[in-house]
Each structure stands twice: as structure tokens, then as C-alpha cells.
Amino acid sequence: MTNHQDMPYPLETEQLSKVYDNFHALKQVSLRMESGEIFGLLGPNGAGKTTLIGVLSNLVRPTSGKAKIFGSDVSLELKAQKKLVGLVPQELVNHGFFSVEEVLSYVMGYYGLKPDRNRIYYLLEKLGLIEHKKKKILQLSGGMKRRFLIAKALVHEPKLLLLDEPTAGVDIELRNTLWDFVREINKTEGVSVLLTTHYLEEAENLCKRVAIIDKGELKEIGPTKDLVKKLTQRRVEVTLRKAPEKRERPHFVEFVDNKYIFTIPNNMTVGELLQQCKIPIEDVLDLQIREGRLEDAFLAVLSGKE
């Protein structure tokens, strides 16, 4: 299958399943990524995200179904296809006796590229590791190891980057730096990015489209904004000049002092709400609106209230 520009999709799965003994880690998952997008794969712990990434990177053999990278079945283990993918695994990795620079040189060699110091130093510079290039991986801190893994995944200039919780256990400043870098390579090198993360606010800011999986099953997939709109409600707090008469009102949730709290559908305006509740605008002292967030959508999917 190809996308609208006749380019193969960076990633595509069809009815993909993985069963470990009697445990269904993936249940007929079908999804695809558009070329050049940053796509979020969201789900609670044990949802099957890492298994899916494992299948896409050849580390896990699927029980049934197909996974394709740039149009080729991953089970064929084509060398040309492997060159297009970079993987940042969830778990931190060490490399025994080798230094940061040595590992990156060897990884370039594995991809059939002569070690290119410019590329290596560019990535180390961007990821704040240039001063640590002679250190062994064991000597790096957790955050440095995460950044090193990103450099390692990008050293051969892949076209698809698989990021499996790259910011787990990383402080907020570093997380922002990493996401800025992901945006940059997405823009400048045209790298399509699949990421999994537990930081839903970051996923909301970064990903144009997301998929939510739970217990191995694909629950929702689509543009982030559309999912939020579909699965969440707006919260409206209306503070009145004087205490209102107590009576039943549509969308009413809570009443505190002079304040009504409502939740309304995303396609409903505040004007319509006030009209339906028969609240004259001159009685309104203050209005606060909180739009639905990806986190709310995520929780709604997990609780089955979508």
C-alpha cells in the first residue's frame, strides 16, 4: 500500500498479532503512518507498545499478520529496509569496553558506511555529549545514555525513527531538549517518527496523529485534535454576580458558592450553554473554559467511556 504521493508508507501493520504462551500481547493491530509525520503510540504499561516496536525492528516474531516498513515486509529482513530504520529501545544499553565515539563508528560500519566523524560529532554536539565522546557507555549518567541511544539510532541517517519511551526517567529540561531535537530532525532530515511516551502533554504537542492501544488492542487512531475533540468535553466555570436560584440545568456538574461548573460537548459554544441554562450574560461575573486534553481522551478510552 502507498500513500497519496505514491510513496510507500513508512510503517504499516495489518492484523498484527503476537501471542506469548496464552498471553495476547498484540491483537490484530492495523495501523499506518504517513510519510514525514511524528506519530504517537500511547497506552498504559503492558499495552503492547514495546512488542509492536519489537516486531517492527525484527526483534520479535509476530504470531500472525504483517508489518511493513516502507512497503517491505519486515520478516523478509531486507538489508535495504534495515538501513531506513533507527531504533531507540526503552531499556538503557551498555557496550562493555567501548567508548561513545567507538560505538557510533562501529554502528555506522554495520550500516555499510565509513565512520564519518562529522556526522558523529554533529549528533554528539546536538545531544550535548561531545565532551563525553571518549567515555565508556557505563560511565554515562542515565540521561546521557538516553541521548547516546538517540545518537546511535540516527548515526546512519534513517528515514524512520522508532522511539520507545525515550524520555522515561529524564528530567523536564532534558525532555524538552530531546523533543526539540526530534522536531528538528523531522523537519530538516525528513525523518518519520514513531514514539511511545507516558508524557501525554508532550505527545499532544508533538504528534499530529496518535494511536491508543490497551491490552494489545488498537482502541483509537486518528489526528490528535480530532481524538481530543471526539473523546473529551469542555469544562466551563460560570461565576455569577449573585447566588443563583437552585434548579436543574443541562450539563450541570457542580455548584460552589456563586459558581456553576458545567461540562459541555466540544461542538457546543458557551453562548449556547448560557442560553440553554437561561443565565443572562449581565449576571455573569467571570467565565473560565478548560478545553479537553489528550490525557482526558486517553483516560476515557481506557475506562471504556468513549
Which residues of the chain form contacts with another protein (CB under 8 A)?
57-59, 79-80, 82-83, 85, 87, 89, 91-98, 102, 106-107, 109-114
Q: What is the CA radius of gyration of the chain?
A: 24
What are the strands, taking DSSP E only, across 176-251? 192-196, 209-214, 217-223, 233-240
Cα separation of 189 and 123, whole Å? Answer: 13
- Our CB check for another protein shows the closer of 47 and 85 to be 85
Report the nearest approach of another protein to the CB of residue 3 (Å): 24
Of 212, 146, 164, 166, nearest in space to 56 by CA? 164
Report the run of H or E that residue 173 belongs to, with start and end.
helix 172-188
Which residues does residue 12 pair with via DSSP β-bridges, in sequence order? 32, 68
Question: How distant, in Å, are the alpha carbons of 13, 80, 168, 288 from that of 76?
Answer: 15, 11, 32, 55
Report the nearest approach of another protein to the CB of residue 87 (Å): 6
- Our CB check for another protein shows the closer of 58 and 258 to be 58
Report the nearest approach of another protein to the CB of residue 93 (Å): 4
Cα separation of 29 and 53, whole Å? Answer: 12
- Our CB check for another protein shows the closer of 1 and 80 to be 80
- Our CB check for another protein shows the closer of 99 and 258 to be 99
- Our CB check for another protein shows the closer of 106 and 199 to be 106
- Our CB check for another protein shows the closer of 102 and 296 to be 102
Q: Is the Cβ–Cβ distance between 202 and 170 less than 8 Å? A: no
Report the nearest approach of another protein to the CB of residue 178 (Å): 20
State the DSSP string of 46-86: TSSHHHHHHHHTTSS--SEEEEEETTEEGGG--HHHHTTEE
Report the nearest approach of another protein to the CB of residue 138 (Å): 9
- Our CB check for another protein shows the closer of 108 and 231 to be 108
Question: Cell for 219?
Answer: 482502541
Report the nearest approach of another protein to the CB of residue 137 (Å): 8
Report the nearest approach of another protein to the CB of residue 142 (Å): 14
Scored b (16 or more CB within 10 A) or e, 104-140 reads bbebbeeeeeeeeeebbeebbebbebeebbeebbeeb
